[in-house]
Amino acid sequence: MTKNIIRNTFYAASALVLVSCTKMQDIGILNTGGYENLDKSTPLKDAAAFPIGTAISPTPFNNDAKYREAVLRDFNSVTFEYHMKHGAIQRSNGTKDFTTADNMMNALNGIPVFGHTLAWHQNQNASYLNTVLGLSSDAPVVELINNGTLESGALGDWGVWNSAGGAASVTVTNNATYVFQGTYAMKVVNPVNGNPWNVQIASNAFPTVAGKSYRVSFNIRTESGSGQMRLSTSGTDAQYGPNVDVTSSYQPSVWTFTGITGNTRLMIDIGAVQGTYYIDNFSVIEVSEAPTGPALVRAVDSLLEDYITATVNHFKGKVKAWDVVNEMFTDNGAIRNSVNTTIPEGATDYFLWSGYLGRDFAYNAFKYAEAADPAADLYINDFNLEYSPQKVDSLIKHVAELKERGAKVDGIGTQMHISWRTDLGKMEDMFRKLGQTGLKIRISELDIKTVMGSPAGAPTDLLNSYQAAMAKKVVELYVKHIPAPQRAGITIWGINDGNSWVSDGGKEFALFYDDNYEKKPAYGAFLAALLGKE
């Protein structure tokens, strides 16, 4: 395609492109072209003195011959998209499963693997971490009360202990008006006003351990009017809960007591106020005492050390470089914590290491990685560095702090999930700043969005040429500002558009091969830039 054809296509399609001509001219797209005619036959790995990598996943690599052929033919470095992350390796029973990663490595015919990633706030087995720390409701729960939901339709072990002279009663009802949840609830009739212990309903005796905490929870209401109840434990060393005011609407109630003997029986003391009461979903569980303060910090740090040490040791001698810390900063340059990091609703894989460890997070992570494999290159990796000057400045400053404290930080990874409209001025500033650190610098996760909601809805010739121009510019700026000894490589985050993490069901086309594994103009432009061609 000639330059004139590209220009004419632009004018015909300008209404479909949601940016100004000024912006396009700023990034040079109107003044370049011919990307369809560029050489695409040369493998990218043969065009650079530094590694050219790609990210892979096991399903397409194992099952799609063309995908695998592209990986083996065109690249001399590989990063696993997911299968070296905590969520892929850490099992909930405390063991670690490296099987998938090992199998992938064995199928690569010796292509070096870049380890990604040892510590991130996403893609974690967060249930395991929270359970071990005692922070999770996902921890195994042992219910100590028999028939607390009454869903058997019978009282089971529940029974009257004291009965106000024999007139009090406890039964099971299936009257939906008085059932909180399910089909059945407990019905207690107290015919008199008196002391709380005048009417007592007893649970089964259940095992307890002296000094451990136990949480009792239930829902209670009256048939009408108001009433009162409390909980207690049986025996001469009885403990008493607070008086609970009860209304004609179900309300939750919780009481925590401490085990004293090897067995405990709970009493529902309900003799103070005459009335008919309904109780449902009665439960007693042992409370896992979560660590707090310094104890919690030590516990989190221990889990970090355990995972990094085990993983780096497992791949020692095979993986020569690691993303030790990934995405530690928000876009304004702050270290992530539970306040400044939004966890999507329903997400179960988030665990904010830095929220617990603060500035020691990265320092400790790098020290553990170095101890496990002193010969490996260790990187900190982040995204939007080309977008946020505050973020790149904060990251560089933190790396300097880490090194001053004695941590081994060999390099910085800039992910570069960008688009053809990314601001080149900010991008160049980023590369300039990174180059001045003296550290190894790698573009770690490059992809370039093209459609971005354009009414065209597909990668037209025009959009493909824009993507190609940006791909070429990325390489040129990298080579311009990163001195040759610091160039640790460029990794393209995937092979074909359909397998890209930003494919959005076929609405975005951010990679350098189409779904027929034909090389797109971006491949030719990227190759030309690696070869130093105009």
Q: Enumerate the active-site residues.
A: 327, 445
| Lookup: tokens for 83 | 């299968």
Q: How far apart are CA 294 and CA 289, in angstroms?
A: 14
Contact 116, 258 (CB under 8 A): no
Q: How far apart are CA 499 and CA 127, in angstroms?
A: 28
Residue whose entry in the numeric block shows the structure tokens 């949840």: 181
3 state SS of 318:
coil
Query: Whole-angstrom distance between the N-terminal and C-terminal Cα of the chain?
Result: 16
Contacts with 493 (C-beta within 8 Å, 6 or more apart), sequence order = 54, 55, 81, 415, 417, 445, 446, 447, 500, 501, 511
Count how many Cα atoms sit within 13 Å of the Cα of residue 293 in the half-sphere of its side chain.
0
Name the DSSP letter for residue 153.
Answer: S
For the chain, the 3-state helix, strand and coil shares in percent, each to the nearest 5, are 35, 25, 40
Phi, psi of 109 (to 5 degrees): 55, 40
Q: How far apart are CA 308 and CA 293, in angstroms?
A: 23
Name the DSSP letter for residue 228.
Answer: E
Q: How far is residue 128 from each of residues 86, 142, 295, 300, measured CA to CA in Å?
A: 10, 17, 18, 12
The CA R_g of the chain, rounded to the nearest whole Å, is 32
Contacts with 230 (C-beta within 8 Å, 6 or more apart), sequence order = 196, 240, 241, 242, 243, 244, 269, 272
Q: How far apart are CA 441 and CA 386, in angstroms?
A: 14
Please, what sign has the CA dihedral across residues 280, 281, 285, 290? Answer: negative
CA dihedral 342, 345, 347, 350 (to 10 degrees): 20
Cβ neighbours, 10 Å, residue 405: 13
Buried b (16+ CB within 10 A) or exposed e, 356-377: bbeebbbbbbbbbbbebbeebb
Contact 253, 285 (CB under 8 A): no
